[in-house]
Structure 1
Amino acid sequence: MLILSRKVDESIIIGDNIEVKIISIDKGMVKIGIEAPSSVSILRSELLKEVENSNKAASVHVDDAVLESFYKKFSK
């Protein structure tokens, strides 16, 4: 992990086409701006983890009777 100190209006460049700029710092909160091509996915890590956890929870338990019913209905 690279750790940098930046001031407001300073930025870092990632690769050839991604810029991360410090927009403001206020009351312990840092606002950043990210310029990147639309083909680059930018996600907040806490939201991604929440979706992953929800997907795992949804796939953990499937009632065998439901699966058997589904199989009988669609295997004809």
Structure 2
Amino acid sequence: MLIISRKKDQKIIVADDIEITVLEVGRNRVRFGIKAPKHIPIHTRLKTSPVPVIEETAQVVETEIRTSPLEGLPAAAGMTKRR
């Protein structure tokens, strides 16, 4: 998996003909604009199953990211020092 970070209005180009633009970054939401040829299906994956979200690939895809602010941090158990 390639992990990158982008700021608003920055783009990611995939295979010469797919362009992903960061339109807006909010507290719990990231909006992307995706340009791709019509024959390429675009899906979003929510937890386990892919869900088609675009019929026309020139539309904007809006995806909410709902996570706990502490998600991904190491468990606190065993990390404190006793005095």
What range describes the TM-score normalised by the shorter chain of this pair? 0.5 to 0.7
Paired with 1:14 and 1:50, the residues of 2 have a C-alpha distance of: 20
Paired with 2:29 and 2:50, the residues of 1 have a C-alpha distance of: 22
Aligned residues: 51
Q: Which has the higher contact order (CA 8 A, sep 6+)?
A: 2
Q: Which has the larger radius of gyration?
A: 1
* Long gaps (5+) in structure 1: 52-76
Change in Cα spacing, 1:35 to 1:48, as seen in structure 2 (3 Å) is farther
RMSD of the TM alignment (CA)? 2.2
What TM-score comes out, normalization by structure 2 length?
Answer: 0.54
3-state SS of the aligned residue for 2:21? strand
Paired with 1:37 and 1:47, the residues of 2 have a C-alpha distance of: 26
What TM-score comes out, normalization by structure 1 length?
Answer: 0.59
Bigger share in helix: 1
Deviations 1:39-58 (A, max 9, x none): 0000111298177xxxxxxx
Identity within the alignment, %: 37
* Long gaps (5+) in structure 2: 52-83
Paired with 1:48 and 1:39, the residues of 2 have a C-alpha distance of: 24
Corresponding position of 1:25: 25
